[in-house]
Structure formats: C-alpha cells, structure tokens
Amino acid sequence: MYPEFGLIALIFAGFIALLQSSIPLVGIRYKRPELIASAGPLSALVFVAILISYYYLTMSFLQDDFSVVYVANNSNSLLPWYYKFSAVWGAHEGSMLLWVLVLVGWTLAVSIFSRHLQKDFRAVALASQGMLALGFILFLVFTSNPFERLLPFSAPEGSDLNPLLQDVGLIFHPPMLYMGYVGFSVAFSFALAALVCGKLDPIWAKWLRPWTNIAWAFLTAGIALGSWWAYYELGWGGWWFWDPVENASLMPWIVGTALVHSLAVAEKRNLFQSWTVLLAIVAFSLSLLGTFLVRSGVLTSVHSFASDPERGLYILIFLFIVIGGSLFLYGLRMGDLKPTTGFEPLSAESMLLVNNLLLTLFASVVLLGTLYPLLIESLGMQSVSVGPPYFNLFLVIIGAPLMLFMGLGQRMRWRRDDMSRVLKSIPLPLIVSLVLAIVFAAMLGSFKAGLVGALFLAIWVVSHLIEDLRAKYLSGGLSKTLKSLTWWGMCTAHIGIAVLAVGIGLSAALTESVDVRMEAGTKVELAGYEFEFDGVYQEPGPNYTAQVAEVFVWKDGFPEAQLYPEKRRYLAGGDVLTEAGIDAGIGRDLFVSMGESLEGGAWAVRIQVKPFIRWTWFGAIFMALGGVIGILDRRYRMPAITDSEGSQSTNDQSQAST
Amino acid sequence: MTPEASKKFLVFAPLTAFVLLSAFFYSALQLREIRGGDELTSALIDRPFPSFELAGLDNDVHDQSELSMGQVTLVNVWGSWCPSCRYEHPFLTELVEAGVPLVGLNYKDTPTAALDWLDSFGDIYQYHIQDQDGRLGLDLGVYGAPETFIVDGDGVIRYKRVGVVDQRVWDDLMKPVYLQYGGQIDD
C-alpha cells in the first residue's frame, strides 16, 4: 500500500477546499446561481478525498508499514489490530487528520440537511467550513505530515503506541471529543453566515439548535470518556485533574452549554441574538484555542503531544485569522443591530441570562487559571502552578448558584412571570430538599458541608421539576408539556447535572483510601469491606507481560467481589503500567491498584472505597442523552428557512410559548 | 459617550480582548523559541545549583554541597499530586537500575502524601529535598512538575528538562549531556 496516495489525496482535498471557500462567495458577489450551488458538491468532494487519505494512513498502520515515520513511532507489529486502528489518532499528526475528517464530515452533513435554506446563507456557511478545512489541511501538509517516510532506511520494528493509550476508553475518547469540538464549527459558520447575510432571526436559531445540541452531547460524552479513562488507567483513582488539556476541553463545553441555552431564548423570544452569535464564535474559538495550547508546547501536560513551536506559530496565525476575522465582522455588524423587545426581570429569559453569565464567568475563571502560569512567566516573574484548589473553589462558588437558579429557571415562564406564583412555589421544594439532604446525609453517616450541599442542590433541582409537573397537572397543561421532547431533553440533562453533583460531592466527602503492604493471605479492612490478598501470578498479554494480583473482597462474611489489579510491562518500550482492579457499583466502587513489589513476595497496594464515584459519569451520560432527546423534537423536522426573501420576521410567536 | 457610541465600542470589546490574548500567546511562543525548541531551558544552565538548606523526607537536613561530590546527578522535581510524575516513574526506575544517581526534589507536597506515593510506586531516589512552599523551586525557575536537572560533579547545572523524561528524551537529549560530564551507566 502506498502512503503517498494518502498524501496526494490530502493535497487534492486542500485544493478543493480552496475552491469550496472561494467559488460560492464569488457566485454571491456576481449573482451566479450555479457558482453559489457548487458549495454542496465541493464539500462532498473534500470529504471523499480526506476519507481516502485517512484510509491510506489506517492501512499503513494495519499493515505495519514502518517505513512511515508516524507508524514507526506509534505502532508495533505485536499491537492488537484494534489498537493499530486507533493508533492512527494516537499522536499529533494522525489525530489532526482525524480532526479534519470529522470537520469535513460535519460539513457534508450540513450541506445535505441545509438544502432548504436560503441559498446565499447556506453558501456562506459552507464556504466558511471550507476555509476551516483548508487551514487545517495546510497545517497538516506543511508542519505535520503523517505520511512522511523513513526511506531508504525503514525501521525494522515500530516503537509501539504509548501504553497509556492502549485502552478501549482511548479508542473512543478522541473521536467523540473531536465530534464535539468540530461540531461547534457548524454554529460558528452559521453565525458568520448570519452576520454576512444579516439574518439573525428566530428561524436561524431554530435551525442551529439541533446542530449545537448534538455537538454539545458529543463533547459531553467525549470529556466523560476521558475522565473515566484517567480514573482507571492512571491508577491513582482521581477522575479530574484540572490539567491544562482537560481545561482545554472543558472551556468550549462550558461556553457550548451557555450557547445551547441562549439559542433557546433566541429561538423562542427573538432575544439575545448578538450574545448568541458571540457565544457561537467563542465556543468554537475555544476549541481552536485548546488545539493551540495542546499542540504548540506553550503549556506542558501529561496529555501533550510532541510539541513544536513552529506548529504553534502556524496555529496562532490561523487562530488570529479565523477568530480575529470573525470577531471583527461581529463588531462591524453588531454595532448596527437594533435591540428587539425586552423582557421582565422575573422571566425565563432573565433566568437564562443568569445561566449565561455564570457559565461565562466560569469559563473565564478556567481560562485564567490555565493561562496564569504563562502570564506570570511572560511578565518576567518566576513561574507558578495553579492547582486543583483554585478550580475546585470556583466550581463550588459558581456551581452552587448555578444549580439554585437552575431549579427555579426550569419552571419560569417566558416574557414575564408572576412574583407571587414564584414565591409560592419555593417553600415546598426548599423544605423537601433540606429534609431529604439531611436524611440522606444521616443515612450515609456524614455531615460534611460538601456532601450535604451537593445533596441539597441535586434534590432542589429535581424537586422543582416535580413541583412544575404538579402545578401543570393542576392547571391542566400537563399533557402538552409531556409531548414536548424539548422539555424531556431539558429534564434529562438537568437531572444529569444533579446526578453529577451527587457524584462529585459524595465521592469527595466519603472516599476512603489506604496504602498497605500485602502478601498472600494478608487481610485489610476498609469502610466495612475486607480485602484479602491472594498472591500474584504471571500472565502474558499480546504485547506485554502482566503480574496479576488476586484480591478477594468480603462484606459481613459474604463474598462481595474478586479484583485483579495488574502491573504490566510492555515489551517494546519497557514501560510499566498499572491497571487498577475495580469492582464498579452504583453505590460505590472498590478500587485496588498495585504499587511496587517489595521483598518476600509482598506488594505495596493501594485500596480505595469510593462511594458514588460512578454518578459523575452517569451524570454526563444523562446530559449527553438530554442533548440528543432535545433534537428529536418534531418541530426540528419541519423545514426551517425557505428560500424566499423576507422570511425575516414571519416567526410564529404562538409556538414560542411551548 | 452616548449609548449608541458606547454600544459601537462595546461590540469591538471581544476583538480587543482576543488581540491582546494573541499578542500574549505570541510572546509566550517566542519565549519557548528563545529557550530552544520545546525545551524550557533555564537561565541557570552552566550556573551552580542555587544554595539551599532544607529538610529531607528522611528528616535529615540537606544542602547544595551534597550535589558537588564529584558525581553527575539527576535532580527530579516531583510531587504526589502530579500525574505526569507517576507516568515517568517507571522510566526513572530503569535509569536508577542502570546506575544513574537520582535525587528527588519533592515540590509543593506534604510529607505524608509524598511518603504514601513512594510506598506505592517505589522510592528509587537517593534522598529527597522537601520544598513544601516552593522556595527552592522559585530559585530553580521550576515551571511545573515534573522537571529534571542534570547537575555535574561540581554542582553546576548542565541541563534542564521540563516535562516527562522517557526513553526518547533520554536517548536524544539527556544521555549525551550526562555522558559528556562524566556520568556513568552500567549496561
């Protein structure tokens, strides 16, 4: 198989992307419909070319072509085939190619589903997607060519994929994450199209909502997978480290969350347009910024790709053009925008405004914390590191009011709500949440502030949903609400937040951990469980040998679980990795990881009982699910913008109150 | 300013913020380049290891004189809070097994957490200097753990690695320096 074909396909895709980003715009300028319509076929062509390129890189991995530098550095003939497949995105060059594949895939999807949109509008958006693709293809070809060969001296054997990445979670983590990051490019491009064509109406927002929701759902799932992987693979039992790379994925997520909410206001009430456009630009800009931070070597982290300042400079220039250009356009166009109808201080709009402000504040805090070490350093002072205490503090300071307002906001009416109605509906959920939080805390046997607070906030959010249903049942509006999949999506995602809060609060407060020396027969008791170490045996893996410990867990004299934590030594690089033994449960995880082997056949072992840790990922699953449910709502299946001029304000205000 | 004019100004605020941010990124990138590729090489290269007098995890007091006893030594900045340190630990173990002297600088950590960590993963260090408040880290220009310094037999810093040390980093960047100043490796 010839990797050169892959490179040729990539370069070809670059040329077509250049056409895709220019011809439609020329068509608009000179009013040539056939040029405007070329955006669709061109984006399909780019997609096919990138797919071919990606296919050749994958084949180079599957066929162990170690004459390709990237394959030689990231694969090995002993690697199981599925890891060879996922090794394609195991390092910088290939993961960038995957990024481009996902980008042109989204573009193709947009071009298919946007046929009924106004032609100019659609053409501008597709041209913008083409420019993004072009930028990344140039980046690949000039600074990160994955097809580079080691000829004539081909490597006899590859130096193996980083063992940390040889894992199921890591097969799916990057593609999911990129689906999210790159999915926000749709919102970005349509924000630009709206600015160029001056079409900032509810129909625009309605069309964009499903795309934003699905991208957001992917990003949620991608981040959750990454955190789950860190939990069992780094062997330390932590699931979020506030590492710069984790923050780089969290910032677009936070702003994307704000965008999902502000789009709701833009659709239903024709408000917040300016703000929504800005969020759409910023959400994708932060995705790009994350790429810059991770791949330029400006910040160092365990996740960092082999970094290179030249790449950094390229991405920075690209960022400057894309983000700077779009924000400039924003400034030009938004200065003339006339404010539309206002809203009352007590309304769904005001609650969503609070949501947006708090989320934006949180994103800024994370950005500041991530960049602070750089800032201090460039001011000539000695560098510092900003640790988890800073981020955790703000997570609580901002997260708690966010959830308080979320409880209230879920049931607030559009336009204007009645103060006495709102006040009347507070006491019951408040009392229920307080009482239940205290009862549950007593059952768990701990009254730590974080634990009680998390329980209170979670129940507060859910009890308001129930109270809302009760009120609607009494007023006869229940069946209408239950038919709305938008409402179900919102509920599911908000319950996800509540579940996540329980996971964070309870696992932080109740985790018990002990490090012990264990040999065959040693028994240790922790949090009511008895852990019995039954010795260690050797087990060969495909490209490693493992020392597997057998640990029996007993509770009240009954067998509870058998755990098999491993220590793996990978043959190619000689790296040693810990594979934790985990017994997962809804109420608790039992987590055993092996340290060093000590004299006399004994091992240093870390045993942890982590109550409710799983709820953090359940919460994320609920959130992602909520995002997906929301887009299944029937009204998104109707044609949104027809190709008639002056569809500007034919918006249906009657529907806006559903 | 009229509300109209202030709005015109306000809509350009995001652009202004972004331009400032880019300028800042550019300078950060330049800083990297001046310091030589992705290596955050320190201004302390070829200068003596800063003086200190700090307790070790063994409760003895250590100072810089121990680093100038004629032996090339690696000084590894680590903390139990740092996932990357955990990642490079197996490779450092291999180096120690090959006879490379390794001293730990336990950075912004608590002794209990540090000792727990060492119990789990193995204490491969000759001794540890405790730098709880990061004072020595400041003198060393520590950017974040892990970092690894090569200190020659006269206590002079010859190399600084920011980030994880693995086989490739060692072979390509550090081993040549280590050997150049007379470091020993058994095979």
Is the CB of B15 less than 8 angstroms away from the CB of A595?
no
Number of other residues whose CB lies within 10 A of the CB of residue B111: 16
Cβ distance B163 to A319 less than 8 Å, yes or no, reads: no
Q: Would you say residue A653 lies in a domain?
A: no
Domain containing A431 equals 426-511+625-640
pLDDT, tens digit (0-9, with 9 covering 90-100), for A362-388: 999 999 988 887 777 666 665 556 778
User: Which of A166-170, A534-538, B22-26 is the least confident region?
Assistant: A166-170
43-72 in chain B: CB under 8 A from chain A: none
CA–CA gap between residue B107 and residue B101 (Å, rounded): 19
Within an 8 Å CB–CB cutoff, is residue B14 touching chain A? yes
Distances (CA, A) of A270 to A59, A203, A343, A656, B96: 50, 9, 11, 10, 66
Q: Which two tokens stand for residue A425?
A: 């509906």
What integer best gives the mean pLDDT of chain B?
82
pLDDT tens profile A285-299 = 999 988 777 776 666
Burial of A40 (0-12, 13-18, 19+ CB in 10 A): buried
Question: Quick one: which H or E segment has residue A597?
Answer: strand A588-597
Number of domains in chain A: 4
Q: Which of B32, B144, B164 sits opposite A298 (nearest CB)?
A: B32
Q: Are residues A398 and A271 in the same domain?
A: yes
Chain A residues in contact with B120 by the CB 8 A cut-off are 515, 593, 595-596, 604-606
Q: Are residues A316 and A217 in the same domain?
A: yes
- Note whether residue A7 is domain-resident: yes
Contact between chains at A374 and B81 (C-beta distance less than 8 A): no
Residue where a domain terminates, one of A166, A197, A222? A166
Q: What is the pLDDT of residue A465?
A: 93
- Dist. CA A21–CA A583, nearest whole Å: 52
Find the CB nearest A374 among B28, B116, B166. B28
In the structure, what pLDDT confidence band is assigned to residue B80 with cuts at 50, 70 and 90?
A: confident
What confidence category does residue A650 fall into, taking pLDDT thresholds of 50, 70 and 90?
Answer: very low
Name the token pair of A167.
Answer: 């894992």
Q: Which residues of A touch B163 (CB under 8 A)?
A: 300, 304
Say if residue A478 is in the same domain as residue A524: no
Handedness of CA A207, A210, A214, A215 (dihedral sign): positive
Residue A323 to residue B18, Cβ atoms within 8 A? yes
The ipTM value here is: 0.82
Q: How far is A237 from chain B (nearest CA, A)?
A: 11
CA dihedral in degrees (A446, A447, A453, A457; nearest 10)?
60
| Residue B120 touches chain A, beta carbons under 8 Å | yes
Residues of A within 8 A of B87 (CB-CB) are 164, 234, 302
pLDDT tens profile A52-97? 999 999 999 999 888 888 888 788 888 889 999 999 998 888 999 9
Question: Pairing state of beta strands B102-107 and B128-131?
Answer: parallel
Residue A323 and residue A361 in one domain: yes
Token pair, residue A414, equals: 């559009």
- Report residue A642's pLDDT band, with 50, 70 and 90 as the boundaries: very low
The answer as to whether A232 is a domain residue is: yes
- How many residues are recorded in chain A? 658
Structure tokens at A393: 């503090």
> Which position has the token pair 């600088």?
B105
Q: Which of A386, A417, A448 is the last residue of a domain?
A: A417
Position A647 in a domain:
no
The answer, yes or no, to whether residue A643 has pLDDT greater than 50, is no
The alpha carbon torsion through A374, A376, A379, A382 (nearest 10 deg) reads -110
Helix axes A168-197, A92-113, angle to 10 degrees: 50
Is A83 inside any structural domain? yes
Compute how many other C-beta atoms are within 10 angstroms of the C-beta atom of residue A312: 24
Q: Which residues of A600-629 are buried (b: 16+ CB within 10 A; e: fewer)?
A: eebbbbbbbbbbbbbbbbbbbbbbbbbbbb
Task: Find the DSSP H helices in A63-80.
Answer: 69-74
Q: Which of A195, A375, A384, A568 to mutate to test the interface with B (most CBs of B within 10 A)?
A: A384
Residue A399 and residue A527: Cα distance in Å, rounded?
30
Q: Tell whether A258 and A357 lie within a shared domain.
A: yes
Q: Is residue A195 part of a domain?
A: yes
Residue type, A568: R
* A468 and A362 in a common domain: no
CB neighbours of A644 closer than 8 A, spacing ≥ 6? A118
If asked whether residues A217 and A158 sit together in one domain, one would say no
Mean pLDDT of A393-417: 91
Give the distance from residue A605's alpha carbon to the nearest chain B alpha carbon, in angstroms. 6
pLDDT at A558 over 70: yes
pLDDT of residue A415: 83
- Give the number of A-B residue pairs with CB atoms closer than 8 Å: 130
Distance of CA A657 to the CA centre of its chain: 31
Q: Can you name the CATH fold of B53-180?
A: Glutaredoxin (3.40.30)
CB contact under 8 A, A383 and B164: no
pLDDT band at B68 (very low <50, low <70, confident <90, very high): confident
Partners of B18 on chain A (C-beta within 8 Å) are: 285, 323-324, 327
pLDDT at A246: 85
| Cα radius of gyration (chain B) | 21
Residue A28 is predicted with a pLDDT of 92
Q: Do B84 and A301 touch (CB under 8 A)?
A: yes
Q: Given its phi and psi angles, is residue B73 left (phi above 0), alpha (psi -120 to 50 degrees) or beta?
A: beta
Gyration radius of chain A's alpha carbons: 27
Closest to A488 (Cα-Cα) out of A499, A498, A480: A480
Give A-chain residues touching B167 at CB under 8 angstroms. 573-574
Name the percent of chain B in helix, strand, coil, to the closest 5. 45, 20, 40
Higher-pLDDT residue of A278, A381? A278
The alpha carbon of residue A29 and the mean position of all alpha carbons in its chain are separated, in whole angstroms, by 38
Closest Cα in chain A, distance from residue B172 (Å): 14
A378 Cα to chain B: minimum distance (Å): 6
**Per-domain residue ranges of chain B:** 3-34, 53-180
Rounded to the nearest 5 percent, the helix, strand and coil shares of chain A are 65, 10, 25
- Does B31 reach chain A within 8 Å, measured CB to CB? yes
Element (H, E) at A580: none
E strand or H helix at A589:
strand A588-597
A494 in Cβ contact with A406 (< 8 Å): yes
Q: What is the mean pLDDT of residues A170-196?
A: 92
Tell me the residue type at B20: L
Closest of B146, B145, B150, B152 to residue B174, by C-alpha = B150
State residue A573's pLDDT score: 60
Is residue A299 domain-shared with residue A346, that is, in the same domain?
Answer: yes
Task: Measure the CA–CA gap between B122 and A604, rounded to whole angstroms.
Answer: 9
Q: In the block, which residue shows the tokens 């044609």?
A: A639
Residue A653's pLDDT band (cuts 50, 70, 90) = very low
Shortest CA distance from A274: residue in chain B: B11
Is the omega angle on the peptide bond into residue B146 within 30 degrees of 0, that is, cis? Answer: yes
- Residue A646 resides in a domain: no
pLDDT of residue A657: 33
Q: Write the pLDDT tens digit of every residue in A435-489.
A: 999 999 999 988 999 999 999 999 999 999 998 888 888 888 888 888 889 999 9
Neighbours of A483 (CB within 10 A): 12
For residue A525, give the nearest of A556, A566, A562, A564 by alpha carbon: A556
The dihedrals phi and psi of A653, each to the nearest 5 degrees, come to: -65, -25
Copy the structure tokens of residue A588: 């608790």
Residue of A nearest to B164 (CA): A302
| Structural domain includes residue A109 | yes
Q: How far apart are CA B127 and CA B61, in angstroms?
A: 10
Res. A184: pLDDT tops 90:
yes
Sign of CA dihedral A419, A424, A427, A432: negative
| B interface test, pick of A251, A379, A382, A514 with most B CB neighbours within 10 Å | A382
- Verify that A480 and A554 share a domain, yes or no: no
Contact flag B24-A375 (C-beta cutoff 8 Å): yes
**At A31, which amino acid appears?**
K
Residue A314 backbone phi and psi in degrees, to 5 = -60, -50
Q: Is B26 on the interface with A (CB under 8 A)?
A: yes
Residue A297: predicted pLDDT:
62
Q: Do A387 and B81 touch (CB under 8 A)?
A: yes
| Closest to A224 in 3D by CA, of A623, A610, A498 | A623
pLDDT at A160 over 80: no
Residue in chain B lying closest to A386 (CA) = B144
Q: How far apart are CA B28 and CA B20, in angstroms?
A: 12
Nearest CA in chain A to B3: A335
Q: What's phi and psi for A570, nearest 5 deg?
A: -80, 135
Q: Which residue has the tokens 């700077």?
A: A324
**More confident site: A325 or A638:** A325
Q: Are residues A19 and A133 in the same domain?
A: yes
Whether A278 and B14 lie within 8 Å, measured CB to CB: yes
| CA atoms of A310 and B29, how far apart (whole Å) | 9
CB contact under 8 A, B37 and A309: yes
Nearest to A590 by CA among A617, A563, A625, A616: A563
- Confidence label for B33 from pLDDT (cuts 50, 70 and 90): low
Buried b vs exposed e over A374-391: b needs ≥16 C-beta within 10 Å? beebbeeeebbbbbeebb
Question: Which of A131, A166, A201 is the last residue before a domain boundary?
Answer: A166
Return all residues near A556 (Cβ < 8 A) that are at least 6 apart.
A528
Report the predicted TM-score, pTM, of the whole model to 2 decimal places: 0.81
Among the partner-chain residues B31, B81, B141, the one whose CB lies closest to the CB of A382 is: B141
The verdict on a CB contact (< 8 Å) between A302 and B164 is yes
Asked if A297 and A307 touch (Cβ cutoff 8 Å), the reply is yes
Task: Find the closest chain B residue to A326 by CA distance.
Answer: B15
pLDDT of residue A655: 34
What mean pLDDT value characterizes chain A?
86
Q: How far apart are CA B38 and CA B29, in angstroms?
A: 10
DSSP codes, A166-193 = -SHHHHHHHHHHHHHHHHHHHHHHHHHH
- State how far Cα B101 lies from the chain centre: 17
A160 in the same domain as A61: yes
First-to-last C-alpha distance (Å) of chain B: 76
